[in-house]
Chain A
Amino acid sequence: MTQLVLHNYDLDDACYRVRLVASCCDLSVELRNVDMFPGMEQVSPPYLTLNPLGRLPILETAEATLRQTGAILLYLAGLDPQKRLLPTDTSELAQMTDWLFFAEHDLSVATTARAISIMDVPGDGPATLAQTRALLRIMEDHMSAQDVKGLGFFAGAEITLADLALFPAFALSRDCNIDHDAFPALRLWARRVRATPGFIVMPGIPDYH
């Protein structure tokens, strides 16, 4: 298979989503570590040539340069010969996509809240925290309903790309002082995600299983 190159920063949760999905799909990705904090290397001239948006992750494939995390995740899940993270059922695939967009679009405020909290990025800390908490509550309500239906994951009975895309925001929420006390359904779900073959952690997510 062609070599994949991930421009990566270990403490960035979007880069972690890519490493996590690659690992769970048993794909090898070459890491190029970028000094995002405090070096801001992602907005240096060579990196702006690679990604004018000035952010990570960036995945270079033999044919293209991908810079939207969601697109990178879908590409990796499609490369997996077993396609284990992509439902075959059309409705489940739609639900997976719904939550994938939630993770990449709505939940990006969680990334912002965490960056304000631990990386000195300017922004409205209390407002982003309140929004993050409201989004985690939407996830908690959904998983409470999934529990009633006997479904252990966001899009159905099996883990999909959506679960791995959503996991970091919940697992890292303590970095901005949102603890897990009020999210029992998400705690049980996170435990199931952790049991996925290939699951890996990042700094800030304790590895205790």
Chain B
Amino acid sequence: MSETGWVPIALSRCIAPGTSAGTAVHGAEIVVWRDTGGKAHAWEDRCPHRGMKMSFGFVRGDHIACLYHGWEYDETGTCRYIPAHPDLEVPPSICVTRYAVAEAGGMIWTALPLGEMPEVGPNAPEMDGLRSLYIDAPLDAVLAGLHTLALQVTQTGSLITATLGETRPTLGLHSIDADHSALHITLPSDTPTAIRLSLLDQLATLRRDVEAPLKETAQ
């Protein structure tokens, strides 16, 4: 996949301070984590020690620690502490690969190709995160389903704005791998609760419609 530029990988509100989560973009596994100070990070999801997923680990202040042996990495991705050797001054060459990270429009973003550090951040309108919807289908199929269900669909980069019922959400498009996608769904902050709930139902219907033909093929 030759996609370049910023792509959304999570809703900001879903990554609480002091937590981590795993995801992937076009098959490349990423850990998204937020330190207790509130700053978001996007790294390769792999501990250099034994290859364990960092997303299975835990956040301690501004460090993230691997679940296997507790190796702790600071915000630059550099290993700072190895519990089995508490007195060791850790060689600075032990590092996790960091990716670009930004927050805009209620979403956390990274940049493609991974490792690229763009000077200008993503451009997204101020929105409230509603939910991230994970769909067992390629992003192309999700987009086709969205065009069937919604009116006035406009796409700019990885963002789609569409009219669904009484509201006009902005959806972050996220291709996890060839068979899995996510929509990071955001709304204007003044959207009433009843309309938010109705949007949740419509998007669950979209997921069902998009996945159904794929499930039939699989059987």
Contact = CB atoms under 8 A, between A and B. Distances in A.
Contacts of B56: 174
A181 B21 contact: yes
Contacts of A105: none
B200 A144 contact: yes
Contact of B19 (A141, A185, A187): A187
Question: Which of A145, A149, A191 has the most CB atoms of chain B within a 10 A radius of its CB?
Answer: A145
B147 to A, nearest CB: 23
Contact of A185 (B22, B23, B131, B197): B131
B16 to A, nearest CB: 6
Contacts of B197: 145, 148-149
B80 interface: no
A98 interface: no
Given A145-B200, A149-B193, A174-B56, A188 B14 contact: yes
B21 A206 contact: no
Contact of B130 (A148, A179, A187): A148
Contacts of B10: 184
Contacts of A181: 21-24, 55, 134
Nearest to A144: B131
Given A187-B14, A206-B58, A148 B22 contact: no
B69 to A, nearest CB: 13
Contacts of A148: 130, 193, 196-197, 200
Interface string A175-188: 00001111011011
Place the interface of chain B in its size category.
Answer: 20 to 34
Nearest to B130: A148
Question: Which of A149, A184, A185, A208 has the most CB atoms of chain B within a 10 A radius of its CB?
Answer: A184
A206 B59 CA distance: 13
A141 B204 contact: yes
B21 A208 contact: no
Place the interface of chain A in its size category.
Answer: 10 to 19
Interface SS majority for chain B: strand
A188 B200 CA distance: 18
B36 interface: no
Contacts of A60: none
Question: Which of B21, B55, B204 has the most CB atoms of chain A within a 10 A radius of its CB?
Answer: B21
B137 to A, nearest CB: 13
Contacts of B167: none
B50 to A, nearest CB: 16
A184 B193 contact: no
B78 interface: no
Contacts of B58: 206, 208
A147 interface: yes
Contacts of B182: 182
B200 A141 contact: yes
Nearest to A185: B131
B11 interface: yes
Interface of B: 10-11, 14, 16, 19, 21-24, 55-56, 58, 67, 130-132, 134, 182, 193, 196-197, 200, 204
14 contacts: A144-B131, A145-B197, A148-B197, A174-B56, A179-B55, A180-B21, A181-B21, A181-B134, A182-B134, A182-B182, A184-B131, A187-B21, A191-B16, A191-B19
Given A148-B196, A180-B22, A187-B14, 18 more contacts: A141-B200, A145-B197, A145-B200, A147-B131, A148-B193, A148-B197, A180-B21, A181-B21, A181-B23, A181-B55, A181-B134, A182-B182, A184-B10, A184-B131, A191-B16, A191-B19, A206-B58, A208-B58
